[in-house]
Amino acid sequence: MSGRDPEFDAYVLKIHEVLGRLDYYRLLGVDRSAKIPEIKKAFFSIAGKFHPDRNRDADETVSQAIYNIFKRLNEAYRVLCDYEKRVLYDEGLEGGSTRLEHEGRRTMIPKTAEETLTSREARQFYRQAVEALKNGNLMQADLHIKVASKREGENKAIEELMEKIDAALAEKKKKKK
């Protein structure tokens, strides 16, 4: 590697700036009707220049830009070479979406602690333990969570609740004294 071409680096930064607006076809420089071998050829020729391994001597800003561009190139190549994905992508592109965003689109509701349990029975006992703890029935809470733990095995939510119950039990003991 003999020194970097400043023009190429400037080009990289420019592309990086507009990356979000480039659709996969423009990114790879192929026609909307391009067939797989053509896409492959285009991808390989761009990859030869934009792969992070080929740009190890770039400065940090350029490196980061190249890395991001290459990730997008990989994505474009993967989608356009897969018939089903490409159909979906083309539909989305009509609506102005430059990425096949089944990512980003969907809002996922992350689980409540209870939903992290895979066993139905464990969920039931977990719920009962929570209820018992709320009502101050610590012995019952302790029993239920232990059963839940047995059914489920290792689980963070159970462990956390166990700790809570243990702490409450310890405090109760202290008060008695």
Contacts with other proteins, residue ranges (CB under 8 A): 1, 40, 44, 47-48, 51-54, 56, 67, 70-71, 74-75, 77-78, 103-112, 115-116, 118, 154, 156
Q: Which is nearer to other proteins, 83 or 175 (CB)?
A: 83
Closest CA to 45 of 62, 28, 31, 32: 28
Q: How far is the CB of 123 from other proteins (least distance, A)?
A: 9
Q: How far is the CB of 110 from other proteins (least distance, A)?
A: 5
Residue in this structure with the two tokens 């089944």, named with its chain if needed = 102
Distance (Å, whole) CA 142 – CA 99: 50
Structure tokens at 115: 């939903």
Q: Between the CA of residue 52 and those of 28, 39, 65, 141, what are the distances in Å? A: 17, 20, 10, 55
Q: Which is nearer to other proteins, 26 or 56 (CB)?
A: 56
Give me the amino acid identity at 159.
E
Distance (Å, whole) CA 54 – CA 97: 30
Q: Which is nearer to other proteins, 44 or 139 (CB)?
A: 44
Q: How far is the CB of 175 from other proteins (least distance, A)?
A: 30
Q: Which is nearer to other proteins, 61 or 118 (CB)?
A: 118
Structure tokens at 25: 């076809």
Q: How far is the CB of 4 from other proteins (least distance, A)?
A: 14
How many C-beta neighbours within 10 Å does residue 69 have?
Answer: 20
Q: How far is the CB of 154 from other proteins (least distance, A)?
A: 7
Q: Which is nearer to other proteins, 116 or 137 (CB)?
A: 116
